[in-house]
Amino acid sequence: MDLVKTFLALVLFAASPVWANQIDVVLLGDDARMSVMEQCRSSCSAHGNVLGAPSRSSSASDVASYAQHAKHAVIVIDATQGPLPITREHIQIARQAGVPSLSMMFVNMRGLEGMRDAGELVELVELEVRELMNAYAMDGDSAMVFHDSRIRVIPSLHTNGVGLQQVLERVSATPPRRLFDVAYLTGTRLDSYVYVLTPEESRLSRSLANGSEVVLWVNGQVARGTVSAGALTPGDNGELVLQLTSAVKATEGSRFLLERDGRVVGMGVVVRVRS
């Protein structure tokens, strides 16, 4: 992950204009997030925050646009499965969408009841998720951990709260998202610095070179284009020039995603916007 850290060290801030509906707390992670969202709609208070979750069929760009104004994201993990590829992807998206802080919520805990090593399993999964967060500079070491229920086989469950209501109570005090006073430029040509995901990070990852088609998300906008200069292979980071078919609003330091078939294949930062 040294190349990831090199790339992330160059990302200064997430420039995020205010033209989209605001979600304060967003549920990300595997499809279990939809069950959590349904529970909240019927039986909990959002404590003054707007709570939301992207649908199961959402593309990476859809998820990023959904999360781009959130002050906090809860990564939902099925305790019986552990983190899935979508868990990693949603952490990547949260990073590029500028979500300031993450926590994790384990659901389906009752599915571990009767399992001899349930406590050790939950601890290992929690550690794995923290490491994923840390890999993308999302401070996994400080992330709160929540569970949907206690189970008898883990009597000393380490948790910051049990149940969605307690999640919302704890994250309600999360500071408002910081806004940057920057001038946005409109253009179709982006000089950029890009990290291309490895096959471990994305099964759709591929090399990018002159003429490669790209789908870009930046500041809630989606645009298609091609690489007009530069070349990178999976696991590399470096400079690329992207020529888009439609103009986008961005500024120096705007984070963006590159996707393929709706999945993330690269993460980047805008260096310069040109018409």
Q: What is the pLDDT of residues 180-192, one digit of tens each?
A: 777 889 999 999 9
| Type of residue numbered 142 | S
Q: What is the pLDDT of residue 13?
A: 44
Q: What is the pLDDT of residue 57?
A: 86
User: Domain 185-274 is classified in which CATH homologous superfamily?
Assistant: Translation factors (2.40.30.10)
Q: Which residue spans of the chain are classified as CATH 3.40.50.300?
A: 20-171
Residue 120, phi then psi, degrees to nearest 5: -65, -35
- Fold entry, domain 20-171: Rossmann fold (3.40.50)
User: Alpha carbon of 91 to those of 75, 132, 158, 217: distances in Å?
Assistant: 8, 8, 22, 16
Tens digits of per-residue pLDDT, 124-144? 999 999 999 999 999 999 999
Q: What is the pLDDT of residue 183?
A: 81
Q: What is the pLDDT of residue 249?
A: 95
Model pTM score:
0.90
Q: Which residue spans of the chain are classified as CATH 2.40.30.10?
A: 185-274
Regions in the chain scoring below 50 on pLDDT: 3, 5, 10-20
Q: What is the pLDDT of residue 106?
A: 96
